Homo-oligomer: A and B are copies of this chain.
């Protein structure tokens, strides 16, 4: 339930996303224009990308590498979303939206960050090897 919060949380600025995806800022904004991603904004209007956004960008990149053009990519990536909107609106009509305070979000995120990659830790090895 709370798991989605992490992956949709606006965390990364443009510069980081460029490096993670190896896409240019121009490309990343272009894909946004085409509604393939919808990053959040900071108070100062800076784009902030989530892990889901990055996933999506990497999908776009893969598809482009396969020679598929924007039109095709949109069909592929945005098609089950229209369905999703339907099922979501249906559902959200049924149950009331659960809201979180900033504090609650922070706590959830903290737990999840601590757990993220936990499975990689063989009993504190990381602490030994990486200050």
Residues of A within 8 A of B (CB): 3-4, 6-8, 11-13, 15-16, 19-20, 22, 38, 42, 48, 51-52, 54-55, 58, 80-81, 83-85, 87-88, 106, 109-110, 112-114, 116-117, 120-121, 124, 126-131
Q: Is the CB of B12 within 8 A of A12?
A: yes
**Known interface pairs A12-B12, A16-B11; A126-B80 also in contact (CB < 8 Å):** no
Chief secondary structure at chain A's binding surface: helix
User: Of B19, B51, B55, B127, which is within 8 A of A106 by CB?
Assistant: B19
* Chain copies in the assembled complex: 2
**A to B CB contacts below 8 Å, 26 in the list:** A3-B120, A3-B121, A4-B129, A6-B117, A6-B120, A11-B12, A12-B16, A13-B13, A13-B15, A15-B42, A19-B106, A51-B116, A52-B130, A54-B113, A55-B113, A55-B114, A58-B113, A80-B124, A81-B127, A81-B131, A83-B128, A84-B131, A85-B131, A87-B128, A88-B128, A116-B117
